[in-house]
Structures are given as C-alpha cells and as structure tokens.
C-alpha cells in the first residue's frame, strides 16, 4: 500500500483534502492525523472491523482499548451512557484540549475497541486539523498514538511515516505537535476523579477545578498494575537502555560529567538526553551526535515537546547506554517524569 502524505496548512482552504480523509475513514480505512498532543492513527470508532486494522497496523495487544475522538458535545452524548458531575466540570473546563475522560459507554461503542470494558475514553482534540477531519468523517474517530506498539509516540508526520509507511493509505501532516506528550487520562466514573495517565492538563489544574483528585498509584511506582491497560506495557523505550539521574538541577552538570566518565572508562558509548545546562557542560566529553539537548532546565513545555523525538533519534546512533536528566514532578513535570521512568524501566540514580 502506498502511503500518501497530505500537508494541511489551512483547514478552510483545504476542504477537498479533508473530505478525502473523511471518506477513507467512513470506508473503513486508516488515516494518521495531528493533534495538539501526539499524532493519532484514526479509524471509524463505531466500526469494529475498521478498528481491527488499527491493532494490526500497530501490532497492538488486543486487550488494550482505544479512545474515541469527538468534535463536539453531540458526539459525546452519542457514545457516553452517563456524563457524571465530575465529567461535566472537566468538559466545561478543559475540552477541547489535551484530556481524555473515561466514562460509562453506550452499546453503540463496539466491544472490540474497549477491550471488553464497560467504559470508553473520550477525547475532544483542539488541533484544527483533527477537528476538521473528525467533522469530515461524521463519526467518532478511534485513535491511539500513531506508533508501532512499544515505541515512542510520534510528534511529527516524518516519525509517523517511519513506523507506518506502507501500512496505511494517508497521513495528514499538520506540523509538529504542540505538547509532545499524550493527553491526561482521567477516570470520571467513581466518586473521586483519578488520573490514570498524567499529561498537559496537570494534577494542579484538575485539583483547582474539582477540589481534589487521585493519582493512579501505577503512575509513580513500577510494581502496581495500572488501571489504564496501555500503561502496563513497556513504552516509549529507545533501543539502548536508559538510566535517569534525578536530584538538584544545580548539581546536574557535575553529576553527568562524573557518570559519563565512569561509563566511558568501562568501554561504553554514552548518549545523553539532558538540559541545555548539562549538554553545555559535556561538550568536551561527548561527541555532538550523542548529545540531545531537550531545552533549558525548568522549561517543561519545551522539554515535553522534545523528549520523544530525541529518544527515537538515539536509535540511529552507536550509543549503547543512555543517560537522561530528570525534571521536577510538579505541573507538566509529572507527565515528563512518567514517560522518562517508563522509557528507563524505572532505572534511576539519585545525585
């Protein structure tokens, strides 16, 4: 199958291309598309056979449910059996935006996509291309991240192509994703909202709107079974093993110099994913192609937007071990640290 890349710079002027994408989706085909978080791999969310093609293209385990992307409230009403008061508040505060709400589902949602659960994840993206494509399809669009299962989520059309070339008919290219980490998943079915996956809608923002919320313990610990089925898989992992250095940002440059020297003396080719401050301090120790600068310390938006692309890029280098710099776990830092911990298999050193 030829994979066509269609660049969308203006959704109003490019209705014809979007209509074509909508037609592929309605016909049971797959279209990859940009959102404000990461690229999604879309199919008609009410068509079990179309959704089966997503699992096939990604090599995704069939017990891992898909989330449904909607353009408006009417589409939520069509698939959610109940919108709880917690869900109402979160819809009002954060939709459209980088959040997915777990709600009780209606029977119209195929079993095949919910992995047999009686709930469904619902996300209303803000990205204009995603919204226009869902409208053109006229149905809720099931979409996981557009990577092969287990690899980092793509945040550019080029990364989608690397994983999906020949497997899907169309990729809509809307440029690089703004946030770079997947949406915050919040379970709204219980008496207290529970964060199942941290993202750009932070714990602090949710607490402000709801007065309180829980964190699924699996987010911070390796040994607990997470409630979002997909969170249990090894994820986001580059090929070379990754170890994180965590602690006081001021001590990072010296800690990296020490650790890099030790590993190099043991004969390793070391790759480093770290802040500008650390990368600057390693110029004489580590060759340029093994140094990935994820942004200035504390600039969490920049860091989130870069980590996946840089983790992927190490796969094309001779690095046989990787060192990464931890951030704060406040605000967007919780999402960044969750992804880094998973990419490293929870392998960390305190400095």
**What is the rounded CA–CA span in Å between residue 52 and residue 113?**
8
Beta carbon nearer to ligand TXA, 17 or 187 = 187
Candidates 16-24, 61-69, 254-262, 284-292: pick the segment binding ligand TXA (CB under 6 A): 61-69
CB closer to Mg ion out of 44 and 145: 145
Q: At what angle do helices 15-26 and 128-137 cross, to 10 degrees?
A: 50
- Give 20 or 227: the residue with its C-beta nearer to ligand TXA: 227
Which residues are bridge partners to 291 per DSSP? Answer: 272
Using the rule CB under 6 A, is 64 a contact of ligand TXA? yes
Give the chain's end-to-end CA distance (angstroms, integer): 50
Rounded to whole angstroms, the Cα distance separating 257 from 253 reads: 6
Instruction: Sort strands 170-173 and 4-7 into parallel, antiparallel or unpaired.
Output: parallel
Residue 230 makes contact with ligand TXA by CB under 6 A: yes
Q: Does 117 bind ligand TXA (CB under 6 A)?
A: yes
Site for ligand TXA in 70-109 (CB under 6 A): 100, 102
Joined tokens for residue 295: 């942004």
- Per CB under 6 A, 319 contacts ligand TXA: no
Q: For the chain, how many residues are written? A: 351
For 146-165, give one letter per residue: b (16+ CB within 10 A) or e: bbebebbbbbbbebbbebbe
Q: Extract the tokens encoding 211.
A: 């007065």
Nearer to ligand TXA by C-beta: 185 or 340?
A: 185
- Site for Mg ion, rule CB under 5 A: 144-145
In the list 114, 155, 327, 344, the residue contacting ligand TXA (rule: CB under 6 A) is 114
Residues 279-318, interacting with ligand TXA (CB under 6 A): none
- The reply on whether position 202 binds ligand TXA by CB under 6 A is no
Whether the bond into 96 is cis, omega within 30 of 0: yes
Give the residue nearest to Mg ion (CB).
145
159 binds ligand TXA (CB under 6 A): no
Q: Which residue has the tokens 């994180």?
A: 244
Minimum CB distance to ligand TXA smaller for 179 or for 256 = 179
183 binds ligand TXA (CB under 6 A): yes
The secondary structure of 100-126 as a DSSP string is EEEEEBPTTS-HHHHTT-SEEEEE---
Please report whether residue 182 would count as binding ligand TXA according to CB under 6 A. yes
Residues in touch with ligand TXA (CB under 6 A): 35, 37-38, 40, 64-67, 100, 102, 114, 117, 119-121, 123, 143-145, 182-183, 185, 196, 227-231
């Amino acid at each position: 199958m030829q994979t066509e890349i269609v660049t969308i710079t203006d959704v109003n002027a490019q209705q014809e291309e979007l209509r074509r994408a909508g037609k592929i989706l309605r016909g049971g085909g797959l279209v990859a598309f940009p959102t404000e978080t990461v690229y999604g791999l879309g199919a008609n969310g009410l068509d079990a056979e179309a959704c089966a093609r997503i699992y096939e293209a990604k090599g995704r385990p069939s017990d891992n449910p898909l989330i449904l992307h909607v353009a408006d409230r009417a589409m939520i009403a069509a698939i959610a059996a109940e919108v709880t008061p917690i869900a109402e508040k979160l819809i009002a505060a954060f939709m459209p935006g980088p959040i997915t709400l777990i709600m009780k589902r209606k029977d119209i949602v195929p079993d095949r996509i919910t992995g047999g659960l009686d709930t469904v994840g619902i996300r209303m993206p803000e990205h204009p291309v995603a919204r226009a494509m869902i409208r053109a399809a006229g149905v809720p669009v099931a979409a996981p991240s557009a990577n092969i299962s287990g690899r980092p989520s793509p945040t550019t059309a080029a990364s989608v192509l690397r994983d999906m070339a020949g497997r899907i008919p169309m990729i809509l290219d809307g440029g690089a994703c703004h946030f770079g980490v997947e949406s915050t998943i919040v379970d709204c079915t219980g008496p207290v909202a529970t964060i199942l996956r941290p993202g750009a809608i932070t714990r602090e923002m949710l607490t402000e709107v709801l007065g309180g919320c829980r964190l699924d313990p699996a987010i911070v610990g390796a040994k607990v079974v997470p409630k979002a089925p997909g969170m249990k898989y090894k994820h986001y992992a580059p090929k070379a093993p990754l170890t994180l250095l965590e602690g006081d940002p001021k001590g990072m440059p010296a800690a990296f110099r020490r650790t890099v020297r030790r590993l190099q003396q043991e004969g390793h080719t070391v790759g480093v994913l770290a802040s500008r401050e650390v990368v600057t301090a390693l110029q004489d120790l580590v060759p340029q192609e093994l140094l990935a600068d994820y942004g200035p310390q504390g600039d969490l938006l920049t860091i989130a937007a870069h980590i996946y692309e840089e983790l992927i890029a190490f796969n094309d280098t001779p690095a046989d071990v990787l060192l990464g710099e931890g951030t704060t776990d406040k605000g967007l830092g919780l999402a960044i640290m969750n992804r880094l911990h998973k990419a490293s298999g929870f392998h960390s050193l305190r400095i």
